[in-house]
A and B are shown apart, each in its own frame.
Chain A
């Protein structure tokens, strides 16, 4: 059944462009598969009477697993390493753009995929349902306005949000102003699915019975020295008419002087009356030097159909800076650092001591030995609440021409957790290769070995090695009349 669906999608994707009497089309077909394993935990329990006390006073099972015993309970809980889940997700994707279609200014975009997991015991996230439409819309663009109908993803400071509906945009090109409004049936966060889909609710939590109606406005203003946008978006329950969310946001890029610019923006949650994520950065960018110094605030966002917003998650505020420097024609170096602190959580936790601040730091460089050889080396360290990580990564790439390239790489990672005894130490070494087999066909292949140790002071520690692989084929097709450009493109409205 899964193979039949895959074949259907591929056939439709190939036949569509030929069937449509378009002035032109671009079609990207890709097929890929990867093999990867993951390993978690299995919860277990043991009667209190069977628990043993070790020399240092800790409680364990007779075979050495640390246990947690709650006062009054007859059983103590413990966690052992879970089974190794090996999955093999496969995807066949088609991304199609058609224009012309007998009407200058008309364009059709379709992007979707068929997917399955060849392992039946476990499934890689996102492999269900088997057919997923990311985008599929028709767009008609006139000089002063554009209209869109279908499934589209709106990207902006409020996030990438998908909906099934329509969008109308009006432009005053001479003033650099555009105003866009959209309305439709909203998709779930970060997903191609509706919130009512069981795939976005694997633990059967409280979620709405209907997908919300989403409506929004986007205004932009562009000038030689500034680009400004403002967004408004609301989600409303179709039955109760209660709000799922209501937010506004603004973004701006100001090119002040020479190579200096200021980039920033903020979100305000009108439903909760709280400021959301925000940032502001001063940037200095030349082909040789790039410097950024900025402030950042991160605040989680929850729709109002969950109770999580009422649990008052607190934002953190961060200062960060980065520098990239083209030291020579062959050597590029970069460094980045950030320090952050959570706002007061206003809660007493006398039995535990939890950090409320952290920092991140990374440094690296790229050296171009020749047109064919390139090496890269980097180090990253992150210390924060909940977890930390540090490690090296490096790779060497040989790419003698545009036809093929091969890269060998290695990574090391140390990742201690804060709330559980678990320090993963991972060593990775692998290769990835790509070949442009024909002008419109490229093939990529990756393979890596992962050596992982989970270090704990009890029997739950383990050593685990695995090999991951991935293979992908990408084919692109275009109408032969790309040059000279068809009317659908030469008649595009100004500003495009």
Chain B
């Protein structure tokens, strides 16, 4: 075993650490297969710490001098960042003991796929690394206990650049269904806890730091697993998109989320700050207070956009009375009281809100057969009559001005049906004195205005004063 391990380690050191350099300068090892009989002739650093791992440009010029071979201008690249714990120095003694002094054989064991020709070089033959370390899975599926064998946590891999971090491959576990849930990556992150414990799984720490988790977790400062990670802004190079749980996609989620939140906000406070709730809730429910407030050191978490509940359909403004009266607290969650008053007690200066632009011109049709109750928001006297009087339609002296309703010449004598159907419209211009000219039992012509459903006895029992307007003190008995 040790005979295998040693050359593998050596090979890994040679191949992986300068991998970027090899890829960067595109040195073609195979093309030079007949030139170099050993590896350490160029890579002397693999054997001796005081020597460089890569050859100098002068070494190339020994052949590429413009005479023997064309001149090349090559210089060894600077050391690339890495998160490997491996160094040649640590493994040298063991490698040489097992592979003898023939370092080339040791190098081939790791850098050359089995059965390949001399100088067929790869950065590392990973399965052989893993086999040597006793890892029986694919590299990225290695157990948590194995990662730290070769890899430093991200925060300690100080030579890595953000670009390198961004290129970290994602393990297959990250594509598993449910990975984004608490039972997925959350459980995996806590998997290290136990007798041989880590506060956070080393596999997570290899690629991630607190900043990454805080992208979604607004409770990161209060979560021990996340706090066990170091802080490192390079972790933000790996982008992540916060995905809403499946429950949030349910059609009635807006309606039902309050009930869940009132039971517990433990799940909510993973991704949501109080700011999320205040996006919609004008008057914050008590449950909001159990969430964390946004602020320095805490990520933004889920970004909430205000949206209409499904129940608020196009005609909701005309039918909202029933739900609003039976559960006003629900409305108050998102609507400030001034919003209700803007319509129900609008000011004289009113930008179009409830009514369409042309409503002033259109309002006779809406008023004659009311689609809604005008007097919920408008006082018939202060609003309707005030305007109609100024428009010449009132009768401030109590005198009927005949001739306005000129479609029917006999309208004055036959207005009964129109009046009973649209009495509210009549009273937007006419006052009682107009009608009592004819309909009063005392002073008028005695035309009886009472119609279907009139219960004089009942009305008199509630307010006899109304009866005396027409009947004086001699109110006839309904019996």
Contact = CB atoms under 8 A, between A and B. Distances in A.
Interface string B387-418: 11111111110100111111111110111111
Given A68-B406, A411-B357, A285 B324 contact: no
B322 A252 contact: yes
A127 interface: yes
A470 interface: yes
B410 A352 contact: yes
Nearest to A26: B336
B450 interface: yes
B421 interface: yes
Nearest to A94: B338
A428 B358 CA distance: 8
A189 B380 contact: yes
A126 B348 contact: yes
Which one of B315, B422, B469 has the greatest number of beta carbons of chain A within 10 Å? B422
Interface string A474-487: 00000000111100
A199 B378 CA distance: 13
Contacts of A74: none
Interface string B101-142: 000000000000000000000000000000000000000000
Contacts of A308: 423, 427, 432
B436 interface: yes
B168 to A, nearest CB: 34
Given A111-B338, A494-B262, A495-B329, A202 B465 contact: no
Contact of B450 (A109, A261, A312): A312
B310 A285 contact: yes
Contact of A386 (B362, B364, B427, B452): B364
A115 B345 CA distance: 14
A462 interface: no
B326 interface: yes
Interface string A309-333: 1111110100000101000000000
Interface string A355-392: 01010100000000000000000000010111111010
A350 B414 contact: yes
B341 A134 contact: yes
B365 A382 contact: yes
B460 to A, nearest CB: 10
A91 B351 CA distance: 12
Nearest to B399: A43
A347 interface: yes
A286 B251 contact: yes
Contact of A304 (B321, B365, B367, B463): B463
Interface string A380-424: 001011111101010000000000000001010101011111001
A461 interface: no
A38 B387 contact: yes
Contacts of B446: none
A63 interface: no
A491 B379 CA distance: 39
B94 interface: no
B471 to A, nearest CB: 10
Contact of B464 (A242, A310, A424, A482): A242
Given A159-B376, A285-B311, A345-B452, A413 B337 contact: no
Which one of B336, B365, B410 has the greatest number of beta carbons of chain A within 10 Å? B365
Contacts of B378: 190
A202 B310 contact: no
Given A66-B406, A193-B382, A263-B322, A344 B351 contact: no
B415 A349 contact: yes
Interface in B424-479: 424-425, 427, 431-433, 435-436, 439, 449-456, 458-459, 462-467, 469-470
A188 B453 CA distance: 26
A491 B310 contact: no
A338 B366 CA distance: 13
Interface stretch (B40-48, B216-224, B281-289): B281-289
Contacts of B361: 413, 415, 424, 426, 450, 452
Contact of B391 (A82, A237, A273): A82
Nearest to A192: B345
A242 B414 contact: no
A472 interface: yes
A336 interface: yes
B266 interface: no
A119 to B, nearest CB: 11
Interface in A45-80: 66-68, 70, 76-79
B82 interface: no
B71 interface: no
Given A124-B348, A253-B326, A347-B420, A314 B293 contact: no
Nearest to A180: B328
Nearest to B400: A77
A452 B361 CA distance: 9
Contacts of A450: 361
A485 B463 contact: no
Contact of B403 (A38, A68, A307): A68
A68 B409 contact: yes
A220 interface: yes
A97 B369 contact: no
A190 B319 contact: no
Contacts of A97: 336-337
A290 interface: yes
Nearest to A411: B358
Given A189-B380, A227-B323, A351-B410, A314 B420 contact: yes
Which one of B389, B435, B456, B465 has the greatest number of beta carbons of chain A within 10 Å? B465
B326 A229 contact: yes
A264 B322 contact: yes
A265 interface: yes
A200 B322 contact: no
A334 B315 CA distance: 9
Interface in A282-302: 283, 285-287, 290, 292, 298, 300-301
A384 B369 contact: yes
A240 interface: yes
A287 B310 contact: yes
B375 interface: yes
A231 interface: yes
A354 interface: yes
A200 B411 contact: no
Contact of A346 (B345, B388, B431, B451): B451
Given A292-B315, A347-B416, A387 B364 contact: yes
A188 B379 contact: yes
Given A300-B424, A496-B283, A242 B462 contact: yes
Contact of B329 (A322, A350, A496): A496
Contacts of A385: 368-369, 418, 421-422
Contacts of A23: none
A413 B315 CA distance: 21
A190 B326 contact: no
Given A229-B327, A352-B414, 12 more contacts: A32-B347, A79-B392, A135-B337, A153-B341, A157-B321, A190-B379, A220-B326, A338-B371, A349-B418, A426-B358, A483-B275, A491-B289
29 contacts: A26-B336, A34-B351, A40-B388, A82-B391, A124-B348, A190-B380, A199-B386, A204-B396, A224-B259, A242-B464, A251-B322, A253-B322, A290-B314, A304-B459, A307-B470, A312-B451, A336-B315, A349-B416, A356-B421, A382-B366, A385-B368, A386-B364, A386-B367, A387-B368, A393-B357, A409-B357, A413-B358, A413-B361, A492-B286
| Closest 9 A/B residue pairs (Cβ) | A40-B391, A386-B368, A312-B451, A490-B289, A68-B403, A351-B410, A347-B416, A484-B293, A290-B313
Interface of B: 251-252, 256, 259, 262, 274-275, 278, 283-286, 288-289, 293-295, 310-311, 313-315, 319, 321-330, 332, 336-338, 340-341, 344-351, 356-358, 360-362, 364-371, 373-396, 398, 401-411, 413-425, 427, 431-433, 435-436, 439, 449-456, 458-459, 462-467, 469-470
